[in-house]
Amino acid sequence: MSDAHQAEQMPQNQTASSDEVLVELKDINKVYRKGKEEVPVLSDLNLTIKRGDFLALMGPSGSGKTTLLNLLGGLDSPSSGSLTIAGERIDKMSSGQLTRWRARHVGFIFQFYNLMPVLTAARNVELPLLLTKLSAKRRKQNVMAALELVGLKDRAKHTPSELSGGQEQRVAIARAIVSDPDLLLCDEPTGDLDRATADEILALLQTLNREQGKTIVMVTHDPRAADHAKQTLHLDKGALITGA
């Protein structure tokens, strides 16, 4: 058993997680090629994440945090190993299958929000719903519900340039949850925010985890941000380490 798998068995101080396994990584390796040179990024990684968990991933730059997040989100595929999420082997999926799978199962939250600057908050949140067969009326209802959940219903018609950084990130969170995904993946969600706003965003993520039962994996450099998670895993040189 690797260090990574032991990490899953580390003492947990929160109990909101169910026993159902949502994510299971077995012997995951990821190697990038730079010309003829092979650069290993993740090595023999084993990890289990239960439904309802809130996991923080920490580690120095280049440790493989974002690569792991990309694998969990189906944005990239492992070089070897198996990756099962919600009972589906996503490492076996084609690019097209992964695209459809992402739309159904994963919500992404980025450091720089990545909203469409030409669209209002509501239209940004609506984007993932355009991929569904919901009617315009139903899409609007869902969008307003998501915006209300993040406290921005009154900013629905504002464009990103008319919002503060914290508000933009709230809109991004609303966009991530509007299609009710199994898994929320956050890549430095507070990295571009001041402390107070960052705390608000982290509190919101905690609420989504506790009250909505969302499973969250968050990459962060900030130990205070990691404190909001139920458990923290450390990555170094592509491997999960215990006792960090």
Helix orientation angle between 195-211 and 165-177, rounded to the nearest 10 degrees: 20
Residues 52-71 that bind other proteins (CB under 8 A): 70
- Residue 35 binds to other proteins (criterion: CB under 8 A): no
Q: Which of 21, 119, 144, 241 binds other proteins (CB under 8 A)?
A: 119
Residues 165-204 that bind other proteins (CB under 8 A): 175
- Residue 5 binds to other proteins (criterion: CB under 8 A): no
Contact between 49 and 69 under an 8 Å Cβ cutoff? The reply is no
Minimum Å gap between C-beta 128 and other proteins is: 5
Count of CA atoms in the C-beta half-sphere (13 A) of 65: 24
Name which of 7 and 176 has its Cβ closer to other proteins: 176
Name which of 21 and 103 has its Cβ closer to other proteins: 103
Minimum Å gap between C-beta 3 and other proteins is: 25
- Residue 102 binds to other proteins (criterion: CB under 8 A): yes
Q: Which stretch binds other proteins (CB under 8 A): 49-57, 78-86, 95-103, 231-239?
A: 95-103
Q: 152-174 in b/e burial notation, b at 16+ Cβ within 10 A? A: bbebbebbbeebebbbbbbbbbb
Q: Which stretch binds other proteins (CB under 8 A): 10-18, 53-61, 83-91, 110-118?
A: 110-118
Name which of 6 and 132 has its Cβ closer to other proteins: 132
Q: Which of 16, 21, 103, 144 binds other proteins (CB under 8 A)?
A: 103
- Residue 157 binds to other proteins (criterion: CB under 8 A): no
Contact between 91 and 79 under an 8 Å Cβ cutoff? The reply is no
Opening angle at CA 151, ends 180 and 202, nearest 5: 75
Instruction: Report the Cα–Cα distance between both ends of the chain, in Å, rounded.
Output: 18
Minimum Å gap between C-beta 230 and other proteins is: 25
- Residue 243 binds to other proteins (criterion: CB under 8 A): no
For every residue of 129-192, DSSP letters joined together read GGGS---HHHHHHHHHHHHHHTT-GGGTT--GGGS-HHHHHHHHHHHHHTT--SEEEEESTTTT
Name which of 7 and 109 has its Cβ closer to other proteins: 109
| β-bridge mates for residue 37, sequence order | 34
Count CB neighbours of 38 within 10 A.
Answer: 10
